[in-house]
Structure formats: C-alpha cells, structure tokens
Structure 1
C-alpha cells in the first residue's frame, strides 16, 4: 500500500492561525487516506457490527460483551479517541475543547511528528488524557518484516516516553494488522486496539455529517475514532460530545474502558489492562485464532 500523501487541511469553517515561527511545517499537514485504506476502514466497521463491544475494539481478545448485556447492566462508558498529528494548531484546539468539556480522551499521535512537539504531548498528559502508540511513521505495517514492525512500535514508545507518556495501547495505522503484528505489539507490552464507530472525519471533512453519523451509529459503550488534524473535526467536537452525553455516555480513557469491560466480561477474574499478556490464540498461532483475526481484517 502506498504511503499516504500529505496535504494541507481543506479550508473549512475553522479559522486556523499560522504555524508557530520556527516550525518545520511537517506538523501542519494532515494525512490523506487512499481508496484502499477507505475499504479497510469500512471492513473494520462492518466486522465490528457482528461482534460485541470488546471484540470490536480488542482484535485478539477471547472475551466479549454484547450491547444487550451492557444495557441490562446499565453500563454506558464511552471513549473518545484521536489519531494522527499533532497538528500545531488544530490538535491544540482539540485539547482545549476536551479540557473545557472535562472529557478524558485517548490520543494516538504519529511519533515521528510528535517528536518535534513535546509540549502538546506533555499538555495532554498533564490534563489527564491518555497517550497511545500509533507507530513511528504511520506506514502500513503489514508490508514490513517483523524487525521493522517492532522498530515502528518500540521507537514510537521511546519518543513518547521521553515526554512522560506511558503508552499501553497500540492502534495500527489504517486499522491494518496481522496476527504476527499483534503478537509483536503484545511482546512490546502493548494492547492492540481499534474502535466501534468510525466517525469518517478523515473522509467527509464536514462537521454536520460527522455529527449526524455519531448520532446515527453510536450507542451504548461506544469507542469513537476521530482525528486530531482536521478543522472539521474540531468544529464538530462540541456537538459530538453533546450527542454522546444525550445518549447517556460517561466518558473515560480507552484503557479504563477496556479494563472495566474486562471486569464485566469476567467479574471473578477482574483483570487489568496494563501490560496484558499475549492472547493464547495469537501466541500459539492456532487456526481458530488466525481465522478470527483474518476475518477482522
């Protein structure tokens, strides 16, 4: 798969300030997702509808919780997650909205971009938000050999930890993965994660359509995929939060969402997320586990 082209964000209704003086400009671009990535994202969303909430988010889990169970339990934790960037202006303004609304969120920056923007990463952490691993370069990691895959994850962790983050979640670029990639992520003490609702903000770049999609598709226990680089996402965010609150959502970080979901799935075990071990099906390379993972892709 070709690397995504970098383009300036479209001129939608957000008013962008000029880049900070002395910036290299690399952070002021947004990824454009090619058609094959769009097909992958659509397949993930379709696959997620056939699963419970936990199975849709954690692709190598053997546990699951169905939406009907969540409703019976009155369980409606939701997580806002943001990928890509940081963009020097938009990402900072998204952080401001989250802080103003008192919403904890999980942010998956591209580490090679974040490397030059330690201040915004530190500010996310200081405000109580979670930082996850979205790889070093946002390449399609499936096309790489295992050594290169491990470097993408480990080097991203090194950069982010240098800013005070403790990433325990790994979201593969474009949601693309293989069983071997998930096993490597686990070996690097990362839990692989996806989402339940793709807001399609990377595709439509229209605040009204983003909000309407959330109102239509999000429900009990949703994990929303958004992006930190588009002005349209920034403009939609207050209404996205309001729509989720109207659905009764209590916002938590994605790590807390997964940990609490695990407790609901296995109340006697009450496992924790941090540094979770390799899932047996992935570690053993069993046919059933591999088949399930291929189906998710």
Structure 2
C-alpha cells in the first residue's frame, strides 16, 4: 500500500514486518516442503495471535500509533484472521506424518490451535531457535500492520475488508494459488518488469494510472503499448494516484481511465477491474461499480516495495513469509519501482512447483 504522498498517512505501517526465511533450512519447492514450512509458520503465527495481550483503548491507540479506534472493526478482523489461520493450518496438515513436530491436533477451532502451537513451539530444539525468533518477530510486526488497518476501517478504507460482493482481496482463491499484480504504471521500470516476467514464464495484471498511460501513449504511440503489455493483463488504477474516498471526481476518474484503456489496448488485454489507490473507496460505491460491471480488485499480500528501508531481498523474504501463512492470494507490487524485478526471481526459485501462478485472465473470472 503506497502511502507516501497520500493524505492517508495514518494508515501506513510504522514498522514493516520482515524476516530472513533462510533460517528455515528445508526446501520450499515441492508441495510437501511448502506445506511443512507453512505448518511451522502458521504455528508461530497462531501462537503469536493467541498470545496477544489484552489492551484497553488507550493502550491500543498507543500500540497502533493512531488517534482513533474502531474496536468493532478490529474485533471483526481478528475473528476472521483466526478463522483463516485455523483453516490454513488444516490445509497444510493434509500430509502430516507421525513424529513431525509441526503436526498438532486434533483441532476443533482456533483456540485449540493456539494452545497446541504454544506447546509445540515450547519443545523445539536449539537448531530452530533463530527461525522461531525470526517468525515470532515477523508475526508480531505483521499483526500490528493489519490490526492498524482494521482499527482505522472504514473511516480510512483499505484492503483490510470488503464492502460487498463486488469487491475481493485474494483470500477467496484456491489453496496454494497466487496472482501477481503491479500498480501505478506505466513507469520507469515497467519494461524491466515485463521482461522479467517473460523470462520466468509468468504474467501479471498491471493496474495503470490514466495520466501515466496518456503520457506514455503521447510519447511512444499505441503500438509500443501493445508490445509492452503483450501477454499480460491491464486494468484501471484510476486517472491519478489520489484517494477515491476523498475525491468528488472519483467516478469520472474511473470512467475516464477505463475509456482510455479501451481506446488504447485490445480488449483481450483488459480486465473489468478497478483498484483504488491506497485501497481507498467509499462504503456506498458498490452501486456504481456493479452498474458499470466493474469489480473492485484489492489484495491480501502487500510487498511494501515502495518503502525505502526495504531492499529487494527483504521484499522477497517478506512475501515468502506471507505466502506460507496466507497460502493463497493476490500479491501487490509496483512497476514504478524496480525492486520487484529483483525480488521475484528469488521467490519463483524458492517455491518451484509448490504453488500455482495461474494466467492473469483468470483473476477476474475467479470472482
């Protein structure tokens, strides 16, 4: 979520969750290897969530570094996230074998998972101490990131929750299924991003800004844009990068950018999706989007690649950690930055055949 330069600075994470998954010495590149690493990561994540200390409103405001709190929204997100963690652990445990410390159960609900996770982790040997410490710190920081967004919602809308069936985030996808998305282009790194994807046999959905597309069209012409996005998918990110929850002209932004896309690129390249900048849109916008046949395309795996403090290695490691915990989803990157092009080859190599990367055209069809 690129919050820099936004009026919505309040929702940006003060501390970004990072880790070094090389402390997990087993490979992730097979379904079994991915599931074992996912089970272990989910145990740490569930243990951390289960052990969240009770805090009153003043303590939460200080911890999350916000000025106002929507307790109902926070509680709703925590309940949903606990259910997701329990479900994901069940999926990761399908191939469990006796004697594997990452296999615990039977588990009736999240509470039993949290308790079992704490017991399993307490008995770990010294060889996994560094990994355990890394995953615990990562889980704590990531939960704070997400709790902050939930506590601000819906006053500051974001990807943390949806407003209706016309919206989705990626939590709805099949297990071990992931889609790549890039925001804010076309920009200085779009060509390099496109070339990287081609080298690895992947494609992605590019959520473009109308003003950037118009500038590139004026400079290079339509044929160059056809070549740039050949084999990829393109959808709208609005006309300019500003909050569509605080802009009287947000509907014009959606319609004008869509018209430019349809007049510039072939229909086979375009998806009927709109991704609001910063994830911000009004709670009552569903009637408009439904009438226009547009899905609001959010995300559930945020690379934070706009953060100056994160290099490509940190971004790749962050995304691997989130993929182990979430087990499905829509990955958010930006092709106006170059870090994704450097980070993703390592992600692809680490995961091998353990997960699927469906064709970008399936993204709209699956929802």
TM-score of Structure 1 vs Structure 2, range by shorter chain:
0.5 to 0.7
Report the TM-score, using the length of structure 2 for normalisation.
Answer: 0.52
Aligned-pair CA distance for 1:116: 1.9
Does the alignment pair 1:210 with 2:184? Answer: no
Decide which of 108, 133, 152 is 2:207's aligned counterpart: 108
Closer, same or farther in 2 for the Cα pair 1:51/1:124, shift >3 Å?
farther
8 Å Cα contact 2:168-2:297 kept in structure 1: no
Does the alignment pair 1:131 with 2:234? Answer: yes
Q: Deviations over 1:6-32 (max 9, x none)?
A: xxxxxxxxxxxxxxxxxxxxxxxxxx8
Q: Deviations over 1:110-152 (max 9, x none)?
A: 11011122356422442x211011000111111123xx12100
Does the alignment pair 1:35 with 2:33? Answer: no
8 Å Cα contact 2:166-2:290 kept in structure 1: no
8 Å Cα contact 2:194-2:229 kept in structure 1: no
**Residue range with higher mean Cα deviation, 97-106 or 199-208:** 199-208
> 1:186-197 alignment to 2 at 5 Å?
186-197=290-301
Closer, same or farther in 2 for the Cα pair 1:67/1:132, shift >3 Å?
closer
Aligned-pair CA distance for 1:79: 0.2
- 1: CA distance between counterparts of 2:225 and 2:328? 27
Aligned to 1:141: 244
- 2: CA distance between counterparts of 1:158 and 1:63? 21
Q: Deviations over 1:50-99 (max 9, x none)?
A: 6769x9786522899997994xxxx43210000012113x1110000111
Aligned-pair CA distance for 1:164: 1.6
8 Å Cα contact 1:221-1:249 kept in structure 2: no
Aligned to 2:346: 239
- 2: CA distance between counterparts of 1:78 and 1:170? 19
Structure 1, unmatched stretches of 5+, are: 6-31, 263-297
Closer, same or farther in 2 for the Cα pair 1:106/1:51, shift >3 Å?
farther
- 1: CA distance between counterparts of 2:204 and 2:215? 22
Does the alignment pair 1:249 with 2:223? Answer: no
- 1: CA distance between counterparts of 2:83 and 2:228? 31
Aligned-pair CA distance for 1:245: 3.7
Paired residues in the alignment total 222
Closer, same or farther in 2 for the Cα pair 1:97/1:4, shift >3 Å?
same
Aligned to 1:222: 329
Does the alignment pair 1:80 with 2:185? Answer: no
Aligned-pair CA distance for 1:184: 2.1
- 1: CA distance between counterparts of 2:82 and 2:332? 18
8 Å Cα contact 2:186-2:336 kept in structure 1: yes
- 2: CA distance between counterparts of 1:66 and 1:225? 11
Report the TM-score, using the length of structure 1 for normalisation.
Answer: 0.63
Name the SS for the 1:179 alignment partner: coil
Give the root-mean-square deviation of aligned CA atoms.
3.8
Decide which of 89, 96, 109 is 2:195's aligned counterpart: 96
